[in-house]
Structure 1
Amino acid sequence: MRSLDFLSHKPKLAVQNTRHVVMVPPKEFGFNPQTAADNEFQHSSSLTSEKIRERAMSEFQRMVTALRENGVNVMPLDYSPSKMSTPDAVFPNNWFCSLPNGELHLFPMACANRREEVRTDQLTQLLTQHSFHLKNVQDHWLDDAIHESFLESTGVMIFDHQNRELYAGLSQRCDRDLLERFAEQVGYRAITFQTQTQSGTPVYHTNVMMAVGERFAVICDEVIPEFERRYVIKQLAKTKQVISINAEQMAHFCGNILQLENAKGNKLIAMSQSAFDHFSDAQKAQLASHGKLLPFDVSTIESIGGGSVRCMLAEVFAQQQ
C-alpha cells in the first residue's frame, strides 16, 4: 500500500466524476483484425457471428440496466450501420471526450473501420435531447498536420480533472505531438511515459493499465520503465491512494475501471467481473473505501473486443440546461 499523504491534500477542482455516460449497443460486434495488430487483449472465437453478437448485446443490456438501477444516467447512442462494419462501436470512449468546461472533443483513431464509428451529428443530437449545453465541439482530425497521427481519446489519456493533469502511455494510438498540443489547448499538463508488455510491445491503450478516481489511482506500474515509473507514482501519490496491479491483473482488466457517481452523489466504481475476481481482497477493500464496487459480466466483449467496462463508458461532463 502506498503512502497516504494524499489525505492532506485538497483537490483543486470539484469535478472528477460524472453520473452521465454514453453507451453504444454492439450491433455489429465481432473480432476486429485491424485492431488486433497491436491489441494483445483480443482473442478470436469459434462461435458464430450471430452468437457472438447475441451474447455481447445481452452483456450490454444487463450493464445498462444495472447502471441505471444504481442511479447512473445512461444514454444509448443508437445508430444505423454504415457501409463498413464497425465491430468495435461498443467502445465509444475512443473517439470523443467531454470535459468539465463543457467542451466536446473528437479524435482521430488509427484503424479505418473504427473511424466509421464517429457519428458527430447523432452524438450532439443525443446530448441536446438530454438538455446538455455544449460549449464547443472540436474535431482534431481536421488538422492537416495530423493525418498520420492518432490520439484515441480517453482510451489513451487518463484525466485527473481535479489537478488538470492527464496521464498517457505513448503508442501508435497516442502520438506525443498531438497529445501535447491537445493538453496545451485545454490547459492540462501531460504526463507521458513508455510502456512495454512481456511481448516487448507497448500497451495499446493506457486505460487498460491505469485508472484515476477522485481520491485513488490504479496502475500497472511494472510495465513502465523504472526511471519514468518513479515519477508517475510520485505525481499520483500527491493526491491519490495508489493501488498497484501486476501484469496478470492488467490482462484481466483490473486497470480498466471507472469511478462514477449517482444522482445522490454516491460514488460507484464500475468494473468487469473478471477484474473484480482478480483484485486481491486487500485491493477490493481499498477500492470499496472510494465507492460501491459494480462488477459486470462482459466476458464476450472483453475476450473478443479486447476492451472492457471502462472502454464502454463515455463520460459526459457538460452542464444540463
Structure 2
Amino acid sequence: MQVTNTILMIRPVGFRKNEQTAVNNYFQEDLDIKNAEINTKAQAEFDAFVNVLRAKGVNVIVVDDTKSPDTPDSIFPNNWVSFHSNGTVGLYPMYAENRRNERREDILETLEEQGFSIDHTIDYTSAEDEKLFLEGTGSILLDRVNEKAYCALSVRADEDLFIEFCEDFEYTPVVFTAYQSVENKRLPIYHTNVMMCLAEKFSVICLDTIDDKKERKNVLKNLKQDGKEIIEITEEQMHSFAGNMLQVMGQDNKRYLVMSSAAYNRLTDKQIATIEKSSEIIHSSLETIETCGGGSARCMMAEVFLPKTN
C-alpha cells in the first residue's frame, strides 16, 4: 500500500526560523516580524491545513508541541520518525541539535492509545555521535509497493546510513545527488522530498536538479520501470515547493495530492491535468511556515501505516 488515510501532525508552540538548520536549508528566509507573531501565523496556517485535510476524510492525529525544550521545527515530524505496515517505527538522526529534541516517546504512546500497534523500533539515532544523519522521509522517498527507496545525498542524508536503512526495511536503494543554485554555486538540496514526490501512478520530480546524467537516467529508469508517469517541474517551481507534495487517502479511499497553495499556483494547467487523472488536488496557504521553516505541506505530515490492534 503506497497511500495511507492516517497522518500525524505536530501543532507548533515556538515556531520560528531555525538558525541551526538555515546553514544548509537554502529555502529558509527571514520575516521582519517578531517570533511570537511568526508562531501565531504558523498556528493559524497549521489549523487551516488540518481542517482542509479532515474535510476530505483524512484521519489527522494532532499532537501539541511542548514549550520546553526549544524545538522551532517540530511542525516537521516526518524527519525524525516513520511508521511502517509491519508494526515497525524508524527513528532517525537529525543534523540540527535542537531538532533532536523533537523525538518524543509520548507521541508513540498516543498512537498506541489510538489503537495502532508498534511491535518493533529501529533506532538510527546513535549515528549523531559520528555526525552522520538521515532525516526520515525528508531524506528517503519510499515506493512501498515496488520496495524501492530514493535518496538525494546531502549532509542530512548519509549514503551508508541510507543503505543500512534499505537493508533493514528491505528496499532497493536508488541513490543520487540533487543540487540547487545558490549565489552561482551548485549546492546539494537538503531533503529529497523538496525536489521529488512519489504517488501511486506518477512522480513529480525536478530532474534539472540531478546534474549527473547517469544518475538522472537511473532515477528515470526506475520510475518508468514501475509504471510511474513523470511530471517534470522546473527549479523555479521547486522553489515554490511544487515538489513537496504527498498523496493521501480520504473518505471512501479517494486519493488526494496534498500541497501548499504556493506550490499549486506555480503548476501549469497541463501538470494539474496529469495529476488530476488519478488524484484530486487539495492545497492550503502555508506562507509563513514555508518562508521561515524552509519546508512545506509534505514535511508537516508523518504518514501512519501501522497496523490497527482493533
Q: Give the structure-1-normalised TM-score.
A: 0.93
Write out the 4+ residue segments of structure 1 that deviate beyond 6 Å after TM superposition.
none
Q: Which secondary structure state, in structure 1, belongs to the residue aligned with residue 175 of structure 2?
A: strand
Deviations 1:249-291 (A, max 9, x none): 0000010000001141100110000110001000000111121
Structure 1 contact 20–74 (Cα < 8 Å) conserved: yes
Residue matched to 2:73: 88
Residue matched to 1:298: 286
Q: Which secondary structure state, in structure 2, belongs to the residue aligned with residue 24 of structure 1?
A: strand
Distance 1:308 1:143 in 2: 26
Residue matched to 1:75: 61
1:34 corresponds to 2:20: yes
1:107 corresponds to 2:95: no
Amino acid at match of 1:195: A
Shift of 1:88: 0.6
Residue matched to 2:239: 251
Amino acid at match of 2:124: H
Q: Which secondary structure state, in structure 1, belongs to the residue aligned with residue 145 of structure 2?
A: helix
Distance 1:170 1:115 in 2: 20
Distance 1:299 1:20 in 2: 24
Deviations 1:194-227 (A, max 9, x none): 1221121100000000000011101101110212
Shift of 1:80: 2.4
Shift of 1:100: 2.3
User: Structure 2: which 5+ runs fail to align?
Assistant: none
Residue matched to 1:236: 223
Structure 1 contact 150–173 (Cα < 8 Å) conserved: yes
Amino acid at match of 1:139: D
Deviations 1:264-319 (A, max 9, x none): 11001100001100010000001111211001100100011000000000000001
Distance 2:228 2:80 in 1: 27
Amino acid at match of 2:106: Q
Distance 1:110 1:211 in 2: 22
User: Structure 1: which 5+ runs fail to align?
Assistant: 1-14
Residue matched to 2:250: 262
Q: 2:122 aligns with which of 124, 134, 138?
A: 138
For the aligned residue pairs, the C-alpha RMSD in angstroms reads: 1.1
Amino acid at match of 2:48: R
Structure 2 contact 14–36 (Cα < 8 Å) conserved: no
Residue matched to 1:16: 2
Q: 1:46 aligns with which of 17, 25, 32?
A: 32
1:59 corresponds to 2:42: no
Shift of 1:79: 3.5
Paired residue total: 304
Q: Which secondary structure state, in structure 2, belongs to the residue aligned with residue 60 of structure 1?
A: helix
Structure 1 contact 82–116 (Cα < 8 Å) conserved: no
Residue matched to 1:122: 106
Distance 2:68 2:147 in 1: 37
